[in-house]
Structures are given as structure tokens and as C-alpha cells.
Structure 1
Amino acid sequence: MPGHAINQAIIFLPVLAVVFITIIAFARLAATRGRAAKARNDVAYYRAFIGPSEPEYAVVAVRHYANLFEVPVLFYGGCLSAFVLGGVSQWTLVWAWAYVVARAIQSFVHLSYNNPMHRGMPFALGWLFIIALWIDVAIIVAMRLA
């Protein structure tokens, strides 16, 4: 509604959504690693990660989980920065939720049929939304310094 301040804590809803995606990815990772270890009857690989690598389905889950600690770190930082600065706006929320949608689509594609061409677009869009989020934060900082 015009004239009403946005509750700054609302920025943590998209943050929680990405945390949820990360939890799902961890569960998938645990399940695939368990399945791979059980199928091999040789857990030596999992002691030091030396020797023949995991099956492709397990490697995909591992890589996907690792990805969730790369670009999303910028997402978390941007959301937290907007909150701390008291500058969460409708645009901040648009960029944050748009990133969540892009990340969810990318995760779905990566963990299901894993077509790199199909997961590339949500990845690129996710980056654009992260950049927009940080431009928003930069504007907030500039306004605070003015």
C-alpha cells in the first residue's frame, strides 16, 4: 500500500526459500552418496575421496550442493545488507524472489534430467538478479552516505 513502510524482516522469506533449496540438495546428496556407497560395497573412496570416482548421479548431486555455496553467498550477503541498512524495498524483494525462482528452476533441472542448455538460462538470469540486488544495495548505501 502506498505510504506504508515495508516490514524489513520480509527479506528473510526469500532467504529461507534458498536455505530450503539447500536442505533439499543436501538430502539428495546424502541419498545419492548412500546409494553409491551401498552399490559399490567399497567405502574406501569415501574415506579420502581417492580412487575411482563416484557414479555420475552422485557427482551431479555433490556438484549441485557445492554450487549452493557459491553464487547464493552473494544472495545472502545482498539480502542481509539491505536488511541491516533498513533499505528493503519492493525492488529488493522483486530481485530476491526472482533469484529464488531462477535458483529453484536451475536446481530442478540439475537434479532431475540435467540438461546443461536448460539450466543455463536460469543460471544466467539468477546472476542478473544478483547483480540487480547488489545495484539496489549500492543505491541504498549511496543514499545513506549522501
Structure 2
Amino acid sequence: MTDTTAMFWPMIAHAVLVFILYILLSTRRMAAIRSGGTDPRQFKENLSEPAESLLVHNNLKNQFELPMLFHAGALALFINNADNIITITLAWIFVISRYAHSYVHITSNRLQLRRPLFIVGLFACAAMWGWLAVWLATS
């Protein structure tokens, strides 16, 4: 439907979030080591995460769960020429919700805020897949 690569920008924005989280995780782990609260050998098998980096570690793992469906769906929409202004908007809603969810997760970690942000992203991703199903069924 679109002859542009606009669907790739939300995907790139999500990748940037993942890179930011990796940098933050490394920074917090190094701070835990420097403070003497964590032995660097702990990361060899990483059976436990220091409190300073636990929330970032958990959030980073979240970026490889639902977002994998997002990336697969975005690529499928693009490949099938099923992307349009609505699906691109849904993709941006998904990514913005992931940034907001990550912020809440690694700061206050308040579930009353995190859960609704997750649900917004879930519905945006599901709507993208729903449109893809409609597109394929009617093409």
C-alpha cells in the first residue's frame, strides 16, 4: 500500500531502545562492581543479577518477547505491501509504548503504570497482525 520504507523507522527506533538498555545495563553492572557489592565473576554464568542492574536486565529480556512479534509483523506487512498509514501509526504506538514501559520498568517499576503501557503495545501489535490477516485473506 505504501511505496516507502516508513515501516522501518519504528523498527529502528525499537532497536535503538535495545542498544540504550544494553549500555545502561553495562553501566549499572560496572557501578555495582566498582562499589564492591558485586564480584565480576558473578557474570560468568549470571545466576543472579545485582540489585542495581536487575530492573534493566529484566526489561532488556522483555525486549525479546512481544517485540519479536512486532518486528516479524512489521516485516510481513512491508513484504506483502500491506503497510499503510494506519499500520505505521500502530507501529509507532507500539514503539512509544515500549519506551514508556521501559522507563517505568527501570525507574519506579510501578505495575499500575507498567501494565497499561504493556497493554497499549500489545493491542497495537495485535492490530498490526489483524490487519495483515485481513489483507492476506482479501488479496
Distance 1:17 1:135 in 2: 22
**TM superposition shift of 1:78:** 0.6
List runs of 5+ in structure 2 lacking aligned partners.
none
Q: Could you tell me the TM-score, scaled by structure 2's length?
A: 0.91
Q: State the match for 2:92 in structure 1.
A: 97
Deviation, 1:41, is 5.7
Q: Does 1:44 align with 2:41?
A: yes
TM-score by length of 1: 0.87
Alignment of 1:22 with 2:23, yes or no, is no
Does residue 82 of structure 2 align to residue 111 of structure 1? no
Structure 1: distance between partners of 2:22 and 2:41: 21
CA shift for structure 1 position 69 = 0.6
Q: Does the CA contact (< 8 Å) of 1:78 and 1:133 recur in 2?
A: yes
Is there any run of 5+ residues in structure 1 with no aligned partner, and where? Answer: none
Larger Cα-atom Rg: 1
In the alignment, residue 73 of structure 2 is paired with which amino acid?
A: G
Which residue identity is paired with 1:12?
Answer: F
Alignment of 1:1-146 (within 5 A): 6-39=2-35, 40=37, 42-50=39-47, 53-144=48-139
Runs of 4+ with deviation above 3 angstroms: none
Conserved? CA contact 2:38–2:50, under 8 Å: no
Residues 77 and 83, structure 2, Cα contact 8 Å, conserved in 1:
yes
Q: Write the distance in 2 (CA, Å) between the matches of 1:107 and 1:126.
A: 12
Question: Is the CA contact 2:2–2:81 (under 8 Å) kept in the aligned structure 1?
Answer: no
Question: What do the CA deviations read for 1:36-95 (whole angstroms, capped 9, x no partner)?
Answer: 222236222112224xx3332311111111110111000000100001101111221121
RMSD of the TM alignment (CA)? 1.5
% identical aligned pairs: 26
